[in-house]
Amino acid sequence: MFKDFQLIGEHPASIQVKDYIKRLILKGALQAGQKLPSTRELGGLLNVSRNTVIAAYADLEADGFVYVLKGKGSYVAALSGSVSQAAPSWQMDWTARLNGHARMAEQLDLMKHGIRADRGTISFTSIAPDEKLFDLDNVKRAFLDRMSVEGNVLLNYGYAKGYKPLMDYLLRYMDHKGVDLQGKDILITNGFTEGFDLVLSALSRPGGTVICENPTHHTALKNLKLHGFNITGIAMEQGGINLRKLEEALEQRAYDCGYFVPSYHNPTGMVMSPEKRLALMKLMKRYQVPIIEDGFNEELRYSGSHVSPLIAAAGPGNHVIYIGSFSKVLFPGLRVGWVLADRKLIYYLESIKRARTIHTSTLDQSILYQYLVNGNLEKYLKKAKTEYKRKYEWTLQCCEEHIPYTRLTGDGGLHLFVTFPDDFDSRELLEACQKQGVIFTPGDIFFTDGRGRNTMRIGFSRVSDEDIGRGIRIIGETAKQMIGSVGNGNGQHEDE
């Protein structure tokens, strides 16, 4: 006995010894009434100091695992609360008990069923920010600043609606985007994804219907499916959604809601033109369909003029639910997003949120708040946008030079979207490229109707310049071999 003990990491040694002895007692290796080795002896056996064992024994005694007989030593206590030996153990088949929701969530889980990257692979699959750009010192300062002001409060329970200073900051932020805040309210969520899930929870019903861009954000599609929505996807064209097709679809049936990503749409990277925004708003009003607007990427504009979010165009109207997130602009590890919408709707969403998660981490919210209020967003954005713009232009140049596309889209953000000729199979291309150490996201996962086999998304934010050049050349050459063409791409880059 005592031979398998090993000190690990920085965890205090006395706690490790205490946990080790406790485990031996709970597993029955040390029996009630058994005398424990003296502190000096155990120290020698475990290769720790005698003081470490003295502290461990004291803690074991305080927790009721050990009792001391004066002048005799420490003994294992009888565990009155332990039922582990008496209770019958059995194995059950959990998979047989799972409901359809759990099964569907697993089936749609791309982290489990998607492409795996071997070490050294050039991966264009991510559209997360480049962590090398993070201004850590300012984040640390924000944390310490806020902790020194109200650390005790931050570590206790907070409020379902959110951390008040952050809510107020974000309301002002949306006001500056031209949003009419009259009659509206805000709810802080764990990123866009939870906000979307909460909204869908409030709006879903058996046979629910949603209309959206096709292709669109994969996680949004996943959540819509998990909420049982029937999804109608409307094709994209230059400048955003095809309005004629949208109108045809709206004419045919009623929809519970529409989901749109007007700026730097994922995956096409398109920015919906102001004309289309206006026409979309008119159509949705005519057919009385509320809009869920995904504003995740708005700030990552490298060129062209500012375009207002749909909720700003709605004026005092209450039919747009705006979901914001700094996940691409700042730090996705701080799981903070927000829903800005009609006050009455937020009132109900707040209750759903409280029932589900109580509230978003106040620590995350307060760090973000202090970071923002210290004026860091503007400084960071300037730096990040310069770097992303440079990478965007380099990726664009590489794609134009090497990839035989029929359409290349992406007006900003962290990715480009490539369309090949109709009969091209990007899954086959992926397989061939993977063997050469390059991967990307096959576009079909973004489609609502199983199409898009001839498309792919190239995320460039976390790939080095050199790898962008090398990776895209490999993709391009492989694609050309598959197509049997030798020339450069003859398609057009849809730049607005």
Ligand X SMILES: Cc1ncc(COP(=O)(O)O)c(C=O)c1O
| Closest CB to ligand X among residues 18, 218 | 218
In whole angstroms, what is the distance from residue 334 CA to residue 449 CA? 33
In whole angstroms, what is the distance from residue 50 CA to residue 36 CA? 14
Residues in contact with ligand X, shown as a per-residue x/- string from 83 to 122 under the rule CB under 6 A: ----------------------------------------
Q: How far is the CB of 144 from ligand X (least distance, A)?
A: 25
| Closest CB to ligand X among residues 191, 258 | 191
Size of the site for ligand X (CB under 6 A): 13
Kindly report the length of the chain: 496
**By CB under 6 A, residue 204 contacts ligand X:** no
What Rg do the C-alpha atoms of the chain give, in angstroms? 28
Residues in contact with ligand X, shown as a per-residue x/- string from 162 to 201 under the rule CB under 6 A: -----------------------------xxx--------
Q: Judge whether 421 and 407 are in contact, CB under 8 Å.
A: no
The closest alpha carbon to 413, from 290, 294, 283, 245, belongs to: 294
User: What one-character DSSP code corresponds to residue 35?
Assistant: B
Q: Is the peptide bond before 129 cis (omega within 30 degrees of 0)?
A: no
Q: How far is the CB of 127 from ligand X (least distance, A)?
A: 5
**By CB under 6 A, residue 294 contacts ligand X:** yes
**By CB under 6 A, residue 353 contacts ligand X:** no
The closest alpha carbon to 211, from 277, 310, 280, 279, belongs to: 280
In whole angstroms, what is the distance from residue 393 CA to residue 479 CA? 21
| Closest CB to ligand X among residues 21, 198 | 198
In whole angstroms, what is the distance from residue 246 CA to residue 249 CA? 5
| Closest CB to ligand X among residues 161, 457 | 457
**By CB under 6 A, residue 332 contacts ligand X:** yes
**By CB under 6 A, residue 261 contacts ligand X:** yes
Question: Which residue in the set 124, 296, 405, 420 belongs to the binding site for ligand X (CB under 6 A)?
Answer: 296
| Closest CB to ligand X among residues 74, 360 | 360
Q: Cα separations (Å) of 378 from 138, 353, 371, 385?
A: 12, 30, 11, 10
Q: Judge whether 217 and 446 are in contact, CB under 8 Å.
A: yes
**By CB under 6 A, residue 123 contacts ligand X:** no
In whole angstroms, what is the distance from residue 186 CA to residue 200 CA? 16
Report the run of H or E that residue 439 belongs to, with start and end: strand 438-439
**By CB under 6 A, residue 259 contacts ligand X:** no
Residues in contact with ligand X, shown as a per-residue x/- string from 216 to 235 under the rule CB under 6 A: -x------------------
Q: How far is the CB of 330 from ligand X (least distance, A)?
A: 10
Question: Which residue in the set 25, 60, 127, 468 belongs to the binding site for ligand X (CB under 6 A)?
Answer: 127
Binding site for ligand X (CB under 6 A): 127, 191-193, 217, 261, 266, 294, 296, 325, 327, 332, 337
